[in-house]
Amino acid sequence: MVKTVSIIITGKVQGIGFRFCSYEKFVEFGLTGKAENGKDGSVIVTATGEEPAVEQFVAWAHTGPEGAKVEKVETSEVQSEPEK
């Protein structure tokens, strides 16, 4: 089952390559999505893919890349657009 989640990651997550590493993990887990810096110093990720792969990404987000100090990860499921 395909799932889309929005993830807000806070802590020391900007300036250490979190977004770049997120894209590498998208490829590794077979996901699509985007990662952007939040104005408050967070990283905001939207990830779409098969549910087990999305859950793997969320688990990775709790640690992030080397140099990250993740304090909090908030996830919420996003309604996918129906296919036409």
Q: Using N-to-C axis directions, what is the helix angle for 51-61 and 18-29, rounded to 10°? A: 150
Whether 13 contacts 41, CB under 8 Å = yes
* DSSP single-letter state for residue 39: T
Q: Which neighbouring-strand residues pair with 6?
A: 46, 76
* Assigned token pair, 7: 């993830």
pLDDT, residue 79, reads: 84
Q: Of the candidates 66, 79, 78, 63, which has an alpha carbon nearest to the alpha carbon of residue 9?
A: 63
SS3 65: coil
The model's pTM: 0.91
Architecture of domain 2-78: 2-Layer Sandwich (3.30)
Catalytic residues: 19, 37
Q: Of the candidates 78, 77, 36, 28, which has an alpha carbon nearest to the alpha carbon of residue 57?
A: 28
- Which segments of the chain have a pLDDT < 70? 80-84
